[in-house]
């Protein structure tokens, strides 16, 4: 008698737009049961979930949750019975001189970009340990590798993501759980929407690939990581068209 295949389950944070949205679509095409979150774009998230369910015949649950709030993340995980893949994608940016940044702005950015990884992983890891398998993929930035003027807080948070990824990978490797990160270069997302066309053109001219990256390319790389050998863990893989290589 043929057994029915139980779909793998993924949580994608910051899924209503950009990179998170592209990742959600890619995972739906792979047959994943999805939990998708965002902080406030309820209509966009709900519409995306309905479309993915209809197009790919997968269960897709949209949940509004502030990933920078530990209590909100606890509540989120109370609705998830099992998890095989965690994609920490939610993030915010801040451009400006460090000495003009308020304490509240610093704390908010760190909560969303870095502390959220602790909030999610401490709850996801026990689920994965139970199955002796699982994957955690964190979306980072090239600024976490090299730092950026006028983006000190953002760079610090993504540097923390990279260190968090490497350390947790060592901790979980004996249990068969892979932890990796994708350090993105300039990707065509709303986060970069504040840049003028002139600024984007100057950036493009600096990139050896001579173009801006697309969210779908991040999702394609994530798919590669999902099918990579189990020996691949603790890696921060840069996707930037050769820009900061």
- Per residue in 155-211, pLDDT tens? 999 999 999 999 999 999 999 999 999 999 999 987 776 677 888 888 899 999 999
Q: Which CATH architecture has domain 9-239?
A: 3-Layer(aba) Sandwich (3.40)
Contacts of 30 (CB under 8 A, 6+ apart): 223, 226
pLDDT of amino acid 2: 47
State yes or no: is 56 an active-site residue: no
Residue 39, pLDDT above cutoff 50? yes
Q: Tell the burial category of 211 from Cβ atoms under 10 Å away from its Cβ (0-12, 13-18, 19+).
A: exposed
88 strand-pairing partners = 138
Residue with tokens 């350090």: 183
Select which of 56, 119, 154, 231 is catalytic: 154
Percentage, residues of the chain above pLDDT 90: 89
The domain segmentation of the chain, as residue ranges, is 9-239
**Mean pLDDT for the chain?**
95
């Amino acid at each position: 008698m043929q057994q029915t295949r139980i779909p793998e389950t993924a949580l994608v944070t910051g899924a209503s737009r950009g990179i998170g949205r592209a990742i959600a679509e890619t995972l739906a095409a792979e047959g994943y049961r999805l939990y998708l979150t965002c902080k406030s774009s309820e209509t966009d998230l709900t519409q995306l979930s309905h479309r993915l369910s209809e197009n790919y015949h997968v269960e897709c649950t949209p949940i509004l949750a502030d990933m920078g709030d530990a209590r909100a993340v606890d509540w989120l995980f109370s609705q998830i019975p099992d998890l095989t893949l965690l994609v920490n994608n939610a993030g915010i940016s801040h451009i400006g001189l460090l000495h003009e940044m308020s304490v509240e702005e610093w704390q908010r950015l760190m909560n969303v970009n870095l502390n959220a990884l602790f909030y999610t992983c401490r709850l996801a890891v026990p689920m994965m340990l139970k199955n002796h398998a699982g994957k955690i993929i964190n979306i980072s930035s090239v600024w976490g590798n090299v730092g950026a003027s006028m983006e000190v807080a953002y760079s610090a948070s993504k540097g923390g993501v990279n260190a968090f990824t490497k350390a947790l990978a060592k901790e979980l490797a004996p249990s068969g759980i892979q932890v990796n990160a994708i350090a993105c270069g300039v990707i065509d997302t709303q986060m970069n929407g504040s840049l003028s066309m002139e600024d984007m053109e100057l950036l493009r001219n600096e990139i050896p690939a001579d173009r801006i990256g697309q969210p779908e390319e991040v999702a394609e790389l994530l798919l590669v990581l999902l099918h990579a050998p189990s020996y691949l863990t603790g890696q921060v893989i840069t996707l930037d068209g050769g820009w900061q290589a």
